[in-house]
Amino acid sequence: MYIFVTAFLGAVILLLFYLKTSQKLNYFQERNFPYAKTSVHELLRKMVEFVLRLKSIDAVVQDIYDSGAGMKYFGQIGLHKNEIVIRDPDIIYNIMIKDFSYFMDRPFPVDEKNDPLSAHLFSLKGDRWRGLRYKLAPTFTTGKLRSMFKQLTESSDSITNYISSKPNTCLEVKQLSYCYILDVIASVAFGMKVEAHKYLDGEKSEFVEMSLRFFRMNNMRYFKFFMITFFKSFSKFIGLTLTEDDVKAFFFDLVKNIIKYREETGTKSNDFLQLLINMKEQDEENGGRVEEARKEMMKHEEEDKELFENLDTSKKGAQHFKITDTHLAANTFVFISGGSESTSTALTFALLEIACNPPVQQRMQEEIDSVLMDQELSFSAVNSMTYLNQVVLEVFRKHPPIALLNRLCVQDYKIPDTDHVIRKGDEIILPVSSIHNDPENFPNPEVFDPDRFLYPDSIRKGTYLPFGMGPRFCIAMRFAILSVKVLLVKIFMAYSIKISPKTIMPIKMKTEFFTKGIQGGLWIDFEARN
């Protein structure tokens, strides 16, 4: 009976899918917009791959990229919506910077009522995003990065101490990197000491568990993701959200309790949450005038120009953004969730490439030894390591942790020098991992070659996007790069590394939808240097 009902439901879904998709195959043709030809069978195949999770995110993005080979941009009939894919670096540059105001939003839902934690910088739209971005721009100024440096070295020391406490053992470095960045973000965001690596030895940590659950895809979450993707309105109607209620409640309560404690005791801390609390207090006095943030900005204008570049708050709606406790929780949460997975992915692939390329490892160690010969490890010492910088940039080129970027067109846009119009409401895809690995943009892309970045300014604009580009680029880019560099320096000061036989080589990518990982993990042998 159960099999019969399942087969019947499956057949109904396939029939509905067939009827729906066969009607829209001509969508871009009718719009006179270049498009990638497809068929119902092709879409059905993609649907099966999606439901059974057969492909890694990079492979999915590569399929999209290849389907428009030879075109600068094209429409693609998607499983649940149609999208416009941009392959050409000049058009990407226009969309991200020059004509940003046409494409300022991301097509992700914000549902402040059912899902208050969604009211964060990544999802907010229009002038609400502008107002908040302007206020948060000073979070990662050079001065603030300098003051975070101690927290970074303390967290990296915990990791290297952990490694040395396990002599002759190979370690799985995605987990290790995750623990490191969780420690860093918890201390920078709330002034909390998490010591996440203890979790690896079986010590219970609700903070680590809850953070991990944000990205872990079990069948139930995958089903929810399927529903939210394909039945958006219905999911919104029934209040379906991807993040489990107890995970949301945990972070919400955590932030609220810290705020309450600080307010009651008058305690002030030097962390991100305090910055937001101060803004909230200022807002209570001035009604949330974004202009107040300009004063903070002026202090950093020269040194930190890129943080404020192109941020236009002249629009009336963007002049006020009153920060509430919900924004405090939502934005602290997005820092933990957005920052931990991406940074630990970057560190994992950095260790993979360095272990697989002994000459790179040796050159890095020589540079570290030479810089630290007559000085302590410091913010400026790390910044003076030019080869390290090249290695890190190349890791982000070959393995961008975020494989594709999205934008929503907010007003009709005629692509310059063509008759083609991207319409208001169209969703845009920028296939980052494929652009980074296209031989047209980076010759021999499969080769890990840090010398590509000997002159970073010579890289063609629109071909290098690990942190996005333009006013909506990753607000924490410099912090993320610094966190990666500090752990690498600490590791290579003390150790040489090799891929352990426990790692399945050649590596295969996991097929989880959101995250990038290596099947079976990346196991590394750490050998103490003399």
**Which alpha helices (H) appear in 201-290, and where do they start and end?**
206-215, 219-230, 232-237, 245-265, 272-286
Question: Which is closer to ligand HEM, CB of 77 or CB of 152?
Answer: 152
Site of tokens 């290790």: 176
What residue number has its CB nearest to ligand HEM? 468
Site of tokens 């071909």: 463
Which pair of structure tokens corresponds to residue 124? 């907010």
Question: Which is closer to ligand HEM, CB of 122 or CB of 321?
Answer: 122
Question: Which is closer to ligand HEM, CB of 40 or CB of 311?
Answer: 311
How far does the chain reach from its first CA to its final CA, in angstroms?
A: 68
Least distance to ligand HEM from the beta carbon of 141, Å?
Answer: 14
Least distance to ligand HEM from the beta carbon of 332, Å?
Answer: 9
Least distance to ligand HEM from the beta carbon of 239, Å?
Answer: 24
Please give the helix or strand (H or E) that residue 408 lies within, else none. Answer: strand 405-408
Angstrom distance (rounded) from CA 462 to CA 479 = 22
Least distance to ligand HEM from the beta carbon of 40, Å?
Answer: 32
Residue type, 437: N
Q: How many CB atoms lie within 10 A of CB 161?
A: 11
Least distance to ligand HEM from the beta carbon of 46, Å?
Answer: 24
Angstrom distance (rounded) from CA 190 to CA 258 = 8
Name the DSSP letter for residue 476. Answer: T
Question: Which is closer to ligand HEM, CB of 462 or CB of 521?
Answer: 462
Q: How many CB atoms lie within 10 A of CB 206?
A: 9
Least distance to ligand HEM from the beta carbon of 471, Å?
Answer: 8
Name the DSSP letter for residue 526. Answer: E
Q: Is 409 annotated as belonging to a binding site?
A: no
Question: Which is closer to ligand HEM, CB of 91 or CB of 480?
Answer: 480
Least distance to ligand HEM from the beta carbon of 393, Å?
Answer: 12
Question: Which is closer to ligand HEM, CB of 62 or CB of 342?
Answer: 342
Q: Is 129 helix (H, G, I), strand (E, B) or coil?
A: helix
Least distance to ligand HEM from the beta carbon of 177, Å?
Answer: 10
Which of 486, 455, 432, 320 is CA-nearest to residue 386?
Answer: 455
- Whether the CB-CB separation of 298 and 84 falls below 8 Å is answered with no
Residues that bind ligand HEM (CB under 6 A): 121-122, 133, 185, 334-335, 338-339, 342-343, 346, 401-402, 405, 466-469, 472-476, 479-480
Name the DSSP letter for residue 26. Answer: T
Half-sphere exposure of 146 (CA within 13 A, CB side): 7
Please give the helix or strand (H or E) that residue 371 lies within, else none. Answer: helix 358-371
Question: Which is closer to ligand HEM, CB of 85 or CB of 474?
Answer: 474
Least distance to ligand HEM from the beta carbon of 232, Å?
Answer: 21
Q: Which residues contact 30 (CB under 8 A, 6 or more apart)?
A: none
Which of 350, 386, 343, 339 is CA-nearest to residue 492?
Answer: 350
- Whether the CB-CB separation of 356 and 499 falls below 8 Å is answered with yes
Question: Which is closer to ligand HEM, CB of 199 or CB of 335?
Answer: 335
Q: Is 154 helix (H, G, I), strand (E, B) or coil?
A: helix
Angstrom distance (rounded) from CA 68 to CA 77 = 12
Question: Which is closer to ligand HEM, CB of 130 or CB of 420?
Answer: 130
Which residue positions form the known binding site for heme? 474
Which residue positions form the known binding site? 474
